[in-house]
Structure 1
C-alpha cells in the first residue's frame, strides 16, 4: 500500500527532524514536505496534497490555528493534527471547532503521536490522553458549557444521532453528504470528550437535548434504565 504522506509544520529544524525520524520508522508513513510558518504550510499543502498535516500551534507570524483555518478554506476535507504545549480543554475544543482532526500535546509520548497520525489518516479523530481527560473533566463539571463550543449544525447532528437517526437519514434531512455527516459525527465526539455513541446519547440526555422517550423509541431493544421503546415495530 502507498504510505500515508505527512506534511510537517514547525519552525524548529531539530523538532522537524525528530518528527521525521519518528514517523518514518513506520513503513506506513512518509514525510512528503516540511514548512516553517503558516504561509509556507499553506503553499506546501497546495503543492503536495498530504494525507495528514502535523502542525505546531505556535508559529512565527500567523499561528498554527490561522494556518489550519486557511488550509481548511482550501480543502474542507484536509486532515490536520495539531501539536501544542497546551493540554487545557478550552484550547483543544477551539482547535477542534476550527476543523482539526486531532490534538496532541508535546508532553505526549512518541507512540501516542504515531497513533494519532495513523488515526487521523484513517479519518478518525485523535486526542492525547491528557487532553481527553481535561475535556472529560470540563464536560462533567458543566456539560451545558461544552455544548456552547459546538456550532448550530453540530448541535443539530448531535440531536439527530442521539435520537437514533442513521448517517444516511441525517444526510438526506440536512442536504449533506454521508461523508460530511460522518466527519461531523467524529468531530462532535471529540469535542465533548466521549468515545462511543452510547456515551454520546447519555451526554445528549444529560443536557436535555433529547428526551428519554425519544431515545428509547429509537432503540430496537430495551435498555435498563430507559422506558421500553417501539421494540415490536
Structure 2
C-alpha cells in the first residue's frame, strides 16, 4: 500500500484553458491533487484561507491582485505557506522578487511538465527550487549598473514599477495594492531615484530594456 501523503494544491492562473491543462497533468499523479483553483489573486487569497492547501502554484501576471502581491499577503497571514511560482517570465529579476516575497520555488512555463511536478513536491517539503533556465539566467546575469539598481528595489517598489509602466494611474495602483495614493507617489519618486531616471518616459524605456515589461504588454495589456 502506498502511504505517501497526497499534496493538496491551490492552482492560480488567469487563463481557464491553461488551468485546465495543469489540472489534467496534476490529476494523473497519485500523490498530487488540485483542491481549488482561481483566476485572480483576490479569489486565490480567499480560497487559501478557506481551503488551507499544502502548496500554492501561482502565475505572476494576473488582473487586479498580482502574483507578487498574493504571495506577500499569504505569507503575511501564514509564514509557513509553501508557494511555487509558475510563470512565463524568464527574466531572473521576476524570480528574485518572487523569492523575496516568500515563494519557495520559481519554474518557467517553458519547462517540461515533469519539472513542474517535481517542483511541487520539492516545495511541499520545504526545498527551494528554480527551473534550469531561471537558474542559468541568474548565474549568467551580467550585473551592470542598471541591473544592480533594479535588484535594489523592494518587492513593493518592483510591483509599483510594473504597474506604473503599464500606464496604471496612482489611484488605480493604490487600490490594487491596498495602499494610499501618497505611498504610491513616494515609491514612484524612490523608484526613479534608485534607477537613476528623471522622467516617466525614461522609466518606461528602462523597464522595457530590462525586460520588466515588453512592448507587447504595453500594446495589449489584456
What TM-score does the superposition give when structure 2 sets the normalisation length? 0.62
Matches within 5 A, 1:10-29: 10-29=13-32
1: CA distance between counterparts of 2:68 and 2:74? Answer: 10
CA pair 141-134 structure 1, distance change in 2 beyond 3 A: farther
Q: Which residues of structure 1 form unaligned runs of 5+?
A: 152-233
- Matched with 2:66 is 63
Once residues 152 and 128 of structure 2 are traced to their aligned partners in structure 1, the CA distance between those partners, rounded to angstroms, is: 17
**Partner Cα separation in structure 1 for residue 133 and residue 28 of structure 2:** 25
Task: Tell me which residue corresponds to 2:201.
Answer: none
Over residues 157-176 of structure 1, what are the superposed CA-to-partner deviations in whole Å (9 max), with x where a residue is unaligned?
xxxxxxxxxxxxxxxxxxxx
Counterpart of 1:6?
A: 9
- In the TM superposition, structure 1's runs of 4+ consecutive aligned residues that sit over 3 Å from their partners are 139-142, 148-151
Aligned equivalent of 1:77, options 80, 89, 93: 80
Q: How far 1:2 sits from its partner (Å)? A: 2.8
- How many matched pairs? 149
Higher Cα Rg, which structure: 1
- Native 8 Å contact 1:57 1:64 kept in 2: yes
Q: Deviations over 1:68-94 (max 9, x none)?
A: 111111101111111111112211111
Q: Match for 1:127 among 124, 127, 130?
A: 130
1:96 aligned to 2:99?
A: yes
Alpha-carbon distance in 1 for matches of 2:91, 2:137? 6
TM-score (norm 1): 0.59
1:123-162 equivalence runs, <5 A: 123-138=126-141, 145=148
Note the C-alpha offset of 1:138.
Answer: 2.4
Report the equivalent of 2:37: 34
- The root-mean-square deviation of aligned C-alpha atoms, in Å, is 2.3
